[in-house]
Structure 1
């Protein structure tokens, strides 16, 4: 893993730990053209797992996880991300599969960021 990928993953992990109280256990990121595609494993807290044990709770956790993170990135990109990438973050697309505890985030930048 390149240093840039490692630093990018650290930014994601730190922010999610601050927001949700737990960061992903493992992150795999690839840079493609103007996008960073990150797969995040082991995201949920024990409380979220408990809440998600019902259909209503599962939807609530999924909505909270996707909406909160997208709103946060819309307000302001994580500290150091744009500097690291040398590019402005334009959009974040994110979803989580609660049952399998993995998420996908696609970060779209204004320039090519691939290495």
Structure 2
């Protein structure tokens, strides 16, 4: 793992831990052109795992885990993110498959990532 990937993953893990009370247990990140694609494993807290046992709870947790994180990035990217990547952050696309506790985030930047 390169230093850039390691530093990027550390920023993502800290933000999600601060926001949701638990960061992902494992993150796999790749750079493709002007995108950073991260697959995040082991995201859910024990409470969230309990809540998704009902259809209403599943919808609530899915909404929180996708919309909430997108709104945070819409306000401004986390400290250090653009510096680590060396490009301006533009957009975040994110989703989570609750049954498997896997999330995918695609970060779009203004230029190709070296």
Whether 1:55 and 2:55 are equivalent positions in the alignment is: yes
The number of residue pairs the alignment matches comes to 114
Please identify runs of 4+ aligned residues in structure 1 that moved more than 4 A.
none
Q: Deviations over 1:75-103 (max 9, x none)?
A: 01010000111111100000000010000
> Could you tell me which residue of structure 1 aligns to residue 72 of structure 2?
72
1:1-115 → structure 2 map (5 Å cutoff) = 1-113=1-113, 115=114
Q: Deviations over 1:33-75 (max 9, x none)?
A: 0000000000000111111011110111000100000000000
The TM-score, its normalising length taken from structure 1, stands at: 0.98
> 2:97 & 2:105 partners in 1: Cα distance?
12
Measured on the aligned residues, the alpha-carbon RMSD in Å equals: 0.5
Q: Which runs of 5+ in 1 are unaligned?
A: none
> 1:21 & 1:62 partners in 2: Cα distance?
16
The TM-score, its normalising length taken from structure 2, stands at: 0.99
> 2:98 & 2:10 partners in 1: Cα distance?
22
> 2:100 & 2:86 partners in 1: Cα distance?
34
